[in-house]
A and B are shown apart, each in its own frame.
Chain A
């Protein structure tokens, strides 16, 4: 084997062995963070008013499209955040053995209806997300739930 070929083999072997790392983030339905809920009032708005203001709850991921339906008693909206750190380049490895992920709803909006279809509570929940293994649950702001549209805070 010539020096050039040896070198080529060496470079290829090193490239495969180099533990590449990746930071991957996926956010879905971020628009909800700025959605206007001022038109939804407890005791006055009905489910059609909610749908006029926010439309129906969109699914989090494409796989869920077509199987989630809006119930008469509760409509739930969510913003989903996924943060993954992997070691081992996915360009070369079929399975990346070192993978840390944190997937969670960073924002949720739940609208409850009474038996007449009138809104009787609106709650929003915000929670932080983090990059494992560099951060942990202790590094994010605490989860907060509050009432909207005349709903008292829990």
Chain B
């Protein structure tokens, strides 16, 4: 407080008010926010799945829970689908102007399971893996 009082005394009331306003309005702030949906590290968790050998019960243990949706495919096969994703927000936050951009990527992983509960085919999306941090909201 002593420093502020000395600055106030040396500048005068109006000059100090202008200086304080300009400083507060111009102070650049950065904003970063991150959100992950379900098991965002699902690709790593299921890296050990071997089609033809791994059972769906083992997949559920690796991921930590059952699929988001299960659809019958006929001939006793089932389609187990997991969804997951990542969201990254970056921004420039000033008092008078805020610019921010949020990039979201949502993925699915599916496992085709036969009548013996063995995974026979799988695909794990990688589209949410390397989302960019971008703060500039304009352009494409």
Query: A residues bordering B, Cβ < 8 Å?
Result: 3-4, 7, 10-11, 14-15, 18, 20-31, 48, 51-52, 55-62, 65-66, 69-70, 83, 89-91, 131
Tell whether, in the assembled complex, residue A83 and residue B137 are in contact, meaning their CB atoms are under 8 Å apart.
Answer: yes
Residues of B within 8 A of A23 (CB): 98-100, 137-138
Residues of A within 8 A of B125 (CB): 55, 58
The answer, among B24, B85, B95, for a CB contact under 8 Å with A65, is: B85
Tell whether, in the assembled complex, residue B123 and residue A51 are in contact, meaning their CB atoms are under 8 Å apart.
Answer: yes
In the bound complex, how far is the Cα of B97 from the Cα of A89, in angstroms?
Answer: 8
The answer, among A7, A48, A83, for a CB contact under 8 Å with B16, is: A7
Task: Classify the interface of chain A: helix, strand, loop or mixed.
Answer: mixed
Residues of A within 8 A of B97 (CB): 20-22
Chain B contact residues (Cβ within 8 angstroms of A): what range? 35 or more
Pick 24 A–B contacts, CB within 8 A, sort by A.
Answer: A4-B8, A11-B20, A14-B21, A20-B94, A21-B96, A21-B97, A22-B99, A23-B98, A23-B137, A23-B138, A25-B101, A25-B138, A26-B101, A27-B102, A29-B105, A30-B105, A55-B107, A55-B127, A58-B107, A59-B83, A61-B104, A83-B137, A89-B95, A89-B96
In the bound complex, how far is the Cα of B105 from the Cα of A27, in angstroms?
Answer: 9
The answer, among A11, A25, A28, A131, for a CB contact under 8 Å with B106, is: A28
Inter-chain contact total with CB atoms closer than 8 Å: 125
Tell whether B133 is near chain A: CB-to-CB under 8 Å: no
Instruction: List 17 additional contacts besides A18-B95, A22-B98, A55-B125; criterion CB under 8 Å.
Output: A3-B8, A7-B17, A15-B24, A15-B95, A21-B98, A23-B99, A24-B137, A25-B100, A29-B104, A29-B106, A48-B121, A58-B83, A58-B105, A62-B37, A65-B68, A66-B68, A66-B69
Residues of B within 8 A of A69 (CB): 69, 71, 81
The answer, among A59, A70, A83, for a CB contact under 8 Å with B71, is: A70
In the bound complex, how far is the Cα of B123 from the Cα of A62, in angstroms?
Answer: 21
- Chain B residues 99 to 140 lying within 8 A of chain A, measured CB to CB, are 99-110, 112, 121, 123, 125, 127, 137-138
Residues of B within 8 A of A90 (CB): 98
In the bound complex, how far is the Cα of B95 from the Cα of A91, in angstroms?
Answer: 9
The answer, among A48, A58, A131, for a CB contact under 8 Å with B108, is: A58
Residues of A within 8 A of B68 (CB): 65-66
Tell whether, in the assembled complex, residue B87 and residue A62 are in contact, meaning their CB atoms are under 8 Å apart.
Answer: yes
Beyond A23-B98, A62-B85, is A55–B137 a contact (Cβ under 8 Å)?
no
